[in-house]
Amino acid sequence: MKTLGLQRIVLAAGVLVVCGMAAATHASPPDFSEYALSSWECCTTPPDNAQIANEDGRVDDLCVIGNTIYIGGNFQKVRDPGGNVVDRTFLAAVDKDTGTVLRTFNPTLNDRVYSLAGSPDGATLYVGGKFDTANGQSHRGIVAFNVATGAVDPVLDGLDFEFSGGTVAPVKEITPASSGNDLYVGGGFVKVSGTSRTHLARLTFQSGHFVLNTT
């Protein structure tokens, strides 16, 4: 499900309510009927002396895996239903029943997240965005996390989504095939790890890693 420009989401009585604007969707939304009343808010951290001290963050995508809602976007803090403000850089996870920010999932990315997707078996979270590091290591536009541990999963290591000048290009869509053996990736890139691919690429799982499919 894709949601754009959100300040706050309230989940109640099976209805997704977005405060301030309507939600735009590009796929069938997850079933929110089980969710208890919960809300959360994302906010950015403004520069010194800025006049935007209350600027809202932006949520670009949600992904539900098991009992967890993963949230990606352009934010650096999340306020949970209890009013607790938690530092989270562009990616966070909340309990789907309570809205509580999960303290056990705290990756550090250096730029915006645009797309989230879960593997068919629910074991892996795929993350696409504008970042070029995750947890201090090089991950240019795409990274995977182990859902059970919260650690980086190496299945996407070494892939590089680039503009023509070699700078990192944003990955804005990730769609896993139902088999789990392929990922379809879309975004602003024109190369993947040095090979020409204009805005769309297919990654295939081989020998423990996803690689660019060149067939």
**Is the separation of the CB atoms in 148 and 121 below 8 Å?**
no
Task: Verify that 113 and 213 share a domain, yes or no.
Answer: yes
Instruction: Please check whether residues 100 and 118 belong to one and the same domain.
Output: no
What's residue 168's pLDDT?
95
| In a shared domain, residues 80 and 16 | yes
Same domain, yes or no, for 120 and 41?
no
Q: Tokens 């499919």 correspond to what residue?
A: 213
Q: Which residue, of 86, 106, 126, is where some domain finishes?
A: 106
Report residue 29's pLDDT band, with 50, 70 and 90 as the boundaries: very low
Please indicate, yes or no, whether residues 199 and 118 belong to a single structural domain of this protein.
Answer: yes
Domain count, the chain: 2
Per-residue HEC secondary structure of 122-165 comes to CCEEEEEECCCEECCEECECEEEEECCCCCEEHHHCCCEEECCC
Q: Is residue 71 part of a domain?
A: yes
Under 8 Å between Cβ of 183 and 177: yes
Do 97 and 124 fall within a single domain? no
**Contact between residue 89 and residue 76 where contact means Cβ atoms under 8 Å apart:** yes
Q: Are residues 98 and 174 in the same domain?
A: no
User: 45 pLDDT band (50/70/90 cuts)?
Assistant: low
- Distance of alpha carbon 81 from alpha carbon 37, whole angstroms: 9
Q: How many angstroms from the chain centroid is the CA of residue 129?
A: 7
pLDDT in tens, 70-109: 999 999 988 888 888 889 999 999 998 888 899 999 999 9
Task: Identify the domain containing residue 175 by its residue range.
Answer: 108-215
Question: Is residue 145 in a domain?
Answer: yes
Condensed to tens digits (0 to 9), the pLDDT of residues 142-151 reads: 999 999 999 9
- Assess whether 112 and 213 both reside in one domain: yes
- Whole-angstrom distance, CA of residue 104 vs CA of residue 113: 19
- CB 71: neighbour CB atoms within 10 A? 27
Examine the pLDDT at 202 and tell me if it is beyond 60.
yes
| Residues 76 and 162 grouped into a single domain | no
Res 11 pLDDT > 80: no
Region of residue 99 (phi > 0: left; psi between -120 and 50: alpha; otherwise: beta):
left
Assess whether 73 and 120 both reside in one domain.
no
**For a pLDDT cut of 70, what percent of the chain falls above it?**
74
Q: CA 98 to CA 80: how far, in whole Å?
A: 9
Alpha-carbon span 207 to 39, nearest angstrom: 41
Q: Kindly state whether residue 51 falls inside one of the protein's structural domains.
A: no
The first and second tokens of residue 84, run together, are 């607790």
Residue 22 included in any domain: yes
Pull the structure tokens for residue 126. Answer: 């795929």
Do 113 and 86 have their domain in common? no
Residues 78, 166 within the same domain = no
* 186 belongs to a structural domain: yes
